[in-house]
C-alpha cells in the first residue's frame, strides 16, 4: 500500500465533483483522498496519469455491479460510471437509472434525468437500492478465503502422508500450534478447546492475512470496513451464546451468591455485556486500529504535498517516504497483533461460556 499509494496520490483523481481528473496537490484534496482510499470501492483504481494530449487516463479494472431496484435485478460493470463519483454519469439498466455518489449507488426517481442536490449536497431525487455488488472488499475476502482453503488443505494432506510438513506447511505449522496451545487451550480448557480450535484458527489467519493484504499495492482495506468486522464479531457472539452451558446462563440471568433484589439488575447488566458490549468491543477494536493505521500511513505520505513549499519537493518527498516506511513496518506488527487480540478475546468469551463452576 505504501509505495503504490504514494504514486497514486502524486497523480490521481479525487471524485468530488471534478470531471477533469485534477491532481491531488492541496490539503483539502489530500484529506478527501485519504477518506476515499479507506472506503470500499466498486472497482480497482491503481493509478491515473495525463496523456500527451492532456486527456486523463485511469489504470485499473472494473468489478461487477449487482443491484436490486424498483424494477428488479440489474447487472453491469462498474466501468459504465466512467470513474465519476459525483452523479454526473447516469447508467440505464432494466428500466432504471443509476448514479454513483460518494462511492454509493442510487436509483433516480421516475422521470428524473439529472441528480438534484440540496444545500448540503445531498441528492434529493435519488434513493438507495439493495447493493449486492462484488466490491473490492468482497474480492479480498474471496481471494484470502481461497488461499486459506488451498494452503490448509495441502497442510492437512501432508499430515496424512508424513509426520513433518514440508514447503509452506513448515511456515503454517508453528502458527497453528501457537493458536492451539497458547490461545485455545489455556482460555477454553482441556475439555472443550478442540471443539472451537477450528474456528479460532480460521478467524486468526483470516484477519491476519487480510491485514497484510491491506499493505500490498492493491490496497485492500477489508478489516477496516465495519460490515466485515461486525460479521466476524457476530460469529463469535453466536458461538459463545449457543455454546453457553447452564452455569454460564445462571450466572448471567440469576447470579448466585448475591441478594435477590440485586439479581434482576445484574441480569440486565450481564445480558448487555454478553449480547452487546462484548461483540461491539471486538468489531470496533479491529475496525478502528486498521483504519487508523491506513490513515496514518496515508497522512505521512501526504507530507510531500503539504510541506513541499516549505521543505522543497525533494525534502518533503524524502521525509514522507522515510516516515511512512517505518510506520508501515509497525503496521506489519499491528496486522499480527490485531488478529491475535481478536482471536484471544474470542477464545476468552467462549471459555467463559463453557466453563464449569463448582458451587459450595
Residues 6+ apart with CB under 8 A from 334: 211, 289, 290, 293
Please spell the DSSP secondary structure of 276-340, one letter per residue. IIHHHHHHHHHHHHHHHHHHHHHHHHTHHHHSHHHHHHHHHHHHHHHHHHHHHHHHHHHHHHHHH
Residue 278 CB neighbours (<10 A): 20
In this prediction, residue 23 carries a pLDDT of 57
Angle, CA 189 vertex, CA 274 and CA 203 arms, to 5°:
60
Residue ranges for the chain with pLDDT beneath 50: 1-22, 360
- pTM comes to 0.85
99 bridge partner residues: 106
Query: What pLDDT, in 10s, does the model give residues 152-192?
Result: 988 888 877 776 777 777 888 899 999 999 999 999 999 99
In this prediction, residue 358 carries a pLDDT of 64
Residue 38 CB neighbours (<10 A): 18
For the chain, which residues make up each domain, given as ranges?
2-61, 64-133, 137-354
In this prediction, residue 166 carries a pLDDT of 76
In this prediction, residue 3 carries a pLDDT of 42
In this prediction, residue 24 carries a pLDDT of 58
Amino acid at each position: 500500500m505504501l509505495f503504490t499509494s504514494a504514486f497514486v496520490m502524486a497523480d490521481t483523481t479525487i471524485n468530488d465533483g471534478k470531471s477533469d481528473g485534477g491532481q491531488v496537490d492541496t490539503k483539502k484534496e489530500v484529506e478527501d483522498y485519504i477518506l476515499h482510499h479507506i472506503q470500499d470501492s466498486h472497482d480497482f483504481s491503481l493509478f491515473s496519469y495525463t496523456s500527451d494530449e492532456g486527456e486523463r487516463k485511469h489504470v485499473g479494472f472494473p468489478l461487477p455491479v449487482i443491484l436490486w431496484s424498483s424494477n428488479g435485478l440489474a447487472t453491469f460493470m462498474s466501468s459504465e460510471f466512467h470513474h465519476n463519483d459525483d452523479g454526473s454519469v447516469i447508467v440505464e439498466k432494466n428500466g432504471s437509472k443509476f448514479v454513483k455518489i460518494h462511492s454509493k449507488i442510487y436509483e433516480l426517481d421516475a422521470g428524473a434525468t439529472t441528480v438534484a442536490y440540496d444545500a448540503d449536497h445531498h441528492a434529493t431525487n435519488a434513493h438507495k437500492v439493495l447493493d449486492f455488488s462484488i466490491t473490492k472488499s468482497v474480492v479480498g475476502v474471496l481471494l484470502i478465503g481461497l488461499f486459506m482453503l488451498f494452503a490448509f488443505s495441502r497442510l492437512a494432506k501432508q499430515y496424512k502422508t508424513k509426520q513433518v510438513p514440508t514447503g509452506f506447511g513448515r511456515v503454517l505449522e508453528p502458527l497453528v500450534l501457537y493458536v492451539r496451545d497458547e490461545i485455545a487451550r489455556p482460555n477454553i480448557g482441556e475439555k472443550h478447546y478442540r471443539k472451537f480450535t477450528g474456528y479460532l484458527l480460521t478467524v486468526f489467519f483470516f484477519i491476519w492475512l487480510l491485514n497484510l493484504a491491506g499493505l500490498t499495492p492493491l490496497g485492500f482495506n477489508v478489516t477496516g470496513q465495519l460490515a466485515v468486522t461486525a460479521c466476524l464479531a457476530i460469529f463469535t457472539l453466536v458461538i459463545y451464546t449457543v455454546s453457553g452451558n447452564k452455569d454460564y446462563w445462571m450466572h448471567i440471568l440469576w447470579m448466585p451468591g448475591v441478594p435477590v433484589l440485586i439479581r434482576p439488575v445484574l441480569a440486565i447488566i450481564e445480558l448487555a455485556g454478553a449480547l452487546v458490549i462484548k461483540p461491539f468491543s471486538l468489531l470496533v477494536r479491529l475496525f478502528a486500529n486498521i483504519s487508523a493505521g491506513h490513515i496514518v500511513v496515508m497522512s505521512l505520505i501526504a507530507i510531500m504535498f503539504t510541506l513541499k513549499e516549505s521543505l522543497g519537493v525533494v525534502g518533503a518527498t524524502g521525509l514522507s517516504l522515510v516516515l511512512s516506511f517505518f510506520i508501515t513496518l509497525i503496521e506489519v506488527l499491528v496486522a499480527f497483533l490485531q488478529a491475535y487480540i481478536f482471536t484471544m478475546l474470542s477464545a476468552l468469551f467462549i471459555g467463559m461460556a463453557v466453563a464449569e463452576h463448582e458451587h459450595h
